[in-house]
Structure 1
Amino acid sequence: MAKKQAKPAVRQEMHGVERLGLRVSGMINHPIAQERRWVKIHRLDTDGDREWDEVMGLLAETDGIDMTFNDDESVTLKWEASAEEDRPIEVFEPVEEPAPF
């Protein structure tokens, strides 16, 4: 019985902008950053000028985000709580029913 050989998976290269965008998105969406409503993004040696400028430009165009460019080439992002986050948390309290027996 001949074994079927699996086709080699096609690996798609991720562009620098996509890689940086995913890294920044992960930092923004991190639970600690969400709780504090700020994050400091450090520029890595692998982040090209074009990629960095494009991602920072997209962030600058986003409503509700304050950007501070720091002396160490990092960027601090701050944002306010959204209306959904301001809503009081609804707590479900089950009603105890007497046992049927």
Structure 2
Amino acid sequence: MGKAQKNKTVGRAEMSGVERLGLRVSAMINSPRAQDRCAALIHRMEADQDADWEEVMSRIAETDGVSMVFQDDGGVLLEWEAPTDEDRVLELGEVEALEVEEAPF
């Protein structure tokens, strides 16, 4: 291993179990199929530590508009309502295209 590559490895911080699990769950929730269905089935892997799993599940439970259905096999079905037009995030071009009303004062 060259000196330059060795330095890159030293500078990289290890992810915690909660961070790894959070990224996996986030990827599952943000997948096109889950977004289309407004649901994602999260499976617990053998490598997931109890404390990490509980931490991530408690954070999800605190999220408004998300329901959790615990499965017999240890997985969790997450369901949420499709965002309405009021909930939609506007892109910059869309914001510029909105009509600006004069302030009444």
When the two structures are superposed, what TM-score results if normalisation uses the length of structure 2? 0.73
Cα distance in 2, alignment partners of residues 18 and 8 from structure 1: 23
Deviations 1:24-69 (A, max 9, x none): 0000000000001101000001100000000000000000101000
* Matched length: 83
The answer to which structure has the higher helix fraction is 2
Q: What's the RMSD between the two structures over aligned residues?
A: 1.8
Cα distance in 2 for residues equivalent to 1:38 and 1:85: 20
Deviation (angstroms), 1:85: 8.2
Output aligned runs, 1:1-101, within 5 Å. 6=4, 8-9=7-8, 10-84=11-85
- What SS does structure 2 have at the residue aligned with 1:73? coil
After superposition, the Cα gap between the structure-2 partners of 1:86 and 1:63, relative to the gap in structure 1 and judged at 3 Å, is closer
What residue ranges of structure 2 are gaps of 5+ in the alignment?
A: 89-105
| C-alpha distance in structure 2 between counterparts of 1:30 and 1:85, whole Å | 22
Q: Deviation at 1:12?
A: 1.0
What is the CA-CA distance between 1:84 and the residue it aligns to? 3.1
Opposite residue 75 of structure 2, the aligned amino acid is S
TM-score (norm 1): 0.76
- Residue type of the partner of 2:36? E
In 2: Cα distance, 1:35 partner to 1:11 partner: 35
CA distance in 2 between counterparts of 1:85 and 1:31 reads: 21
Larger Rg: 1
